[in-house]
Amino acid sequence: MADPGSNMRLAGGGAALRRLLAPDVAAMQRRAGGLVLDIRGPLAAGFAYESVGELVVAPPASLDDRAGTPFDTVCTFGALAAAPCLDSLVAALRPLVASDGRLLFVELDGDARRWRRRLDRLARRMWGMSVSRDITGALWAGGFEVTSLDRRPLQHGPPGLLRVVVGVARPDPHRLGERADVTATGAAP
């Protein structure tokens, strides 16, 4: 099977970045189960899925075609950091994750420090990804509850320059209007 993510070339040191994160990506792929949607991002490489019922592989641009199909597991490996608009991608992901499903992710993580924002333009040119996005904050704002998180500096790089975040998120039913007794203003009737 050809890897649909292989056409997402990482210029410069991108291949090294993909190799550094390959063990994390493979470990998350092995955790996937049931009906799985793998959203190919720049960090995706190969397939290590073991116990999936069905695997659907798609680039982020094709998510609208998947609307109405809830998946047990949705995997993103660099897609959130590479998205032109992070909030829009998270909003598109939320209905794709079944109410008892989960989102598995391996992403470059950042913060809003000025020096990191200045590096963002260079990182986008080199890797096609942002290094200044708050991935977990965007997931929370998009209606996900992060249930497992490992945030650490990227090994074999300048200390503090790049961080990787590996985690699991589930839909948060308390913040997404799944309760019918809440009005549009957010107040109970």
One pLDDT digit (tens) per residue for the chain, 189 residues: 334 343 344 444 567 777 777 888 888 999 999 999 999 887 777 788 888 999 999 888 788 777 778 999 999 988 888 888 889 999 999 999 999 999 999 987 766 566 666 676 766 666 667 777 788 989 999 999 999 998 887 766 555 567 788 999 999 988 764 433 333 444 444
Token pair 């899925």 is found at 49
Contact 13, 129 (CB under 8 A): no
Q: Are 104 and 75 in contact (CB under 8 A)?
A: yes
β partners of residue 150: 166
| Fold entry, domain 11-171 | Rossmann fold (3.40.50)
Q: What does the longest C-alpha to C-alpha distance in the chain come to? A: 57
- Asked if residues 167 and 145 have their Cβ atoms less than 8 Å apart, the reply is no
> Which residue matches tokens 């493979």?
26
- The amino acid present at 117, given as its one-letter code, is R
Strands 51-58 and 163-171 turn out to be unpaired
Alpha-carbon distance of 87 to 73, in angstroms, equals 20
> How many other C-beta atoms lie within 10 A of the C-beta of residue 31?
16
For 112-167, write each residue's pLDDT tens digit. Answer: 566 666 676 766 666 667 777 788 989 999 999 999 998 887 766 555 567 788 99
